[in-house]
Amino acid sequence: MVKRLAPTRGNLVKLQKSMAQAQNGHDLLEQKRQVLMMELVKHIDVAKIVQKDVPKVFENAYGTLQKANISLGIDTVEDIARSVPIADGLVVRLRSVMGVEIPEIDELSLTVRPSYSFHGSTSAMDDAYVSVHKALLLILQLAMVETSVYRLAVQIRKTHRRVNALEKVVIPQNKSEAAFIEDVLEEGDREDFVRMKIAKGNRESKDSAA
């Protein structure tokens, strides 16, 4: 059984303030949810495009790598691969969307210059190098967009739960409690009015008798 507040005007004022704050919070959270949903839809659209490109880009990368292995031999290709420096120029920035940190990667150039010597290599190796670079860029883009989708989805779920809690529990309970107190106070006012009328009638009767 829910314990009710004492039906006083002070508690009614407190409930009215609480309801106003809860409604304001509900409206802000609903706006936040809508903004996050728009951002999520945008990232999902990008994710679909990137995922659609994945099979084609990876198929091409593996195909060119196989040709390089046939042209130069697996051991030679592995030696060349080990000579390629680690890519450490990646810059990831965080953009805040309603408190959700969305990763953004600085645009990387599709143009690459082989870091290995042309002596002892073939055009097949160059094609493989370029194709793998494109696959790497696609992986980075996919990781960025999927991370964004995940973070947005988690925050939307949390926001949705808070909106529901306010909409279906907190606000209705406050309204019910306020209505109960208002009814009790109105009943008390009516009883006071009746008592005053009776007291006034008694005084008038006494004055008339005197």
pLDDT digits (tens, 9 = 90+) for 115-142: 766 666 788 888 888 898 889 888 888 9
Between 174 and 208, name the one with better pLDDT: 174
Mean pLDDT across 88-108? 82
Has residue 187 been placed in a domain?
no
Domain containing residue 41 = 24-173
Mean pLDDT across 198-204? 65
Has residue 19 been placed in a domain?
no
CA–CA distance, 171 with 160 (Å, rounded to integer): 15
Render the burial of 45-74: b for 16+ CB within 10 Å, e for the rest: ebbeebeeeeeebbebbeebbebbbebbee
For the chain, what is the domain count? Answer: 1
Q: Is the pLDDT of residue 3 over 70?
A: no
Which of 159, 147, 149 lies closest to 40, judged by CA?
Answer: 149
CA–CA distance, 154 with 144 (Å, rounded to integer): 16
C-alpha angle with apex 59: 58 to 64, nearest 5 degrees?
A: 95
Has residue 16 been placed in a domain?
no
Has residue 202 been placed in a domain?
no
Between 18 and 195, name the one with better pLDDT: 18
- 32: domain CATH number? 1.10.287.3240
Mean pLDDT across 171-192? 82
Q: Is the pLDDT of residue 56 over 90?
A: yes
Has residue 50 been placed in a domain?
yes
Question: What is the pLDDT, as a whole number, of residue 93?
Answer: 86
Has residue 189 been placed in a domain?
no
Which of 33, 49, 35 lies closest to 145, judged by CA?
Answer: 49
% of the chain residues with pLDDT over 70: 83
Q: Is the pLDDT of residue 109 over 70?
A: no
Condensed to tens digits (0 to 9), the pLDDT of residues 5-40 reads 777 888 888 888 888 999 999 999 999 999 999 999
Question: What is the pLDDT, as a whole number, of residue 66?
Answer: 93
Has residue 191 been placed in a domain?
no
Mean pLDDT across 184-209? 69
Has residue 165 been placed in a domain?
yes
Average pLDDT of the chain, as a whole number: 84
Mean pLDDT across 138-157? 92
